[in-house]
A = this chain, B = another copy of it.
C-alpha cells in the first residue's frame, strides 16, 4: 500500500492522454456535409503482436502507445502472467510492431489459447473462462466509497481534459481514479486495450485497486465488470449503458456499478452502499 497511498496522496496524474503526440493521430482530407473540403484528425490504428517469452499470443489493433503496459496487462488479465511471476524484461520493436514480455518462470498457457470466447465488450482473445477463474480467486474489498459531489467533479474533469477523443474521436478511454483525483487516464482504439494498459501499469508499479474508482467510456458488459473485480477496484463508472449480465455479476461480487453518467445524471444498479449522496 505504501507506493499506492503515496501515489494517491500526491494527487498528480501518472498517465494522461497525449494529443500532442504526432504518432497517435493523422490529418486526413475529406468533404463535410456541405461538400466543402475539410481536414480532420483521425486516430491511428496499428497492429501490435504480443509475445510472452518465445510464444506469439495475439495481434492487437491499437493506437500504439504504451506497448509494454498493454502486453503486461493483457497477459495478466488472461491469467497467462501470474502475480508472482517475475518480469525479466520487455522488448518493443516499433518497426516490426512486436512486443515481447520475458518472465523468469516457464509460462504454461497453451491450454488457455485453445479456449475462445467472444465478449460483448469485444475483447478479442479474452478467454471468458480465464476471466471467471480470476474472479473466483479475487473479491472486491469491503471499503471504498464515492461522494456524488466528487463523482460529478471527476466526470467533468475527465470529459474536459485534453485527449485524443476530443482531438480526433473514434477512441475509448479508461480512467483510474481516487477520490476526485485522476491517477491514470489511457485511451485506445480498442476499449479492452485501454483496460489492459491500466492493468499493466498497476501490475508494474504495485498499484492496488483498493479504494479506487474505475471510469470507462465503454458499456458495462460482463467482461468490463469481471475485469474491474479482477483488478480489485470496488467502483466502476461509465457514461454508457449496462447489460443485465454485467449488473448480475456486479451484484454477486459486491461491485458498485454506476452507469449512464452524463452531465449531472447517473444510475446506480449495484453496490449503492458505496455511494454517498451527502446531506
Contact = CB atoms under 8 A, between A and B. Distances in A.
- Copies in the assembly, this chain: 2
Interface in A34-58: 34-35, 38, 40, 42-47, 57-58
Interface in A247-275: 247, 259-260, 264-270, 272, 275
A120 B189 contact: yes
A138 B270 CA distance: 48
B119 A125 contact: no
A42 B247 CA distance: 9
Contacts of A31: 267-268, 272, 275
Contacts of A270: 30
A1 interface: no
Interface string A92-136: 000000000000000000000100111111111110100000000
A61 B170 contact: no
Contacts of A275: 31, 35
Contact of A59 (B113, B116, B265, B268): B116
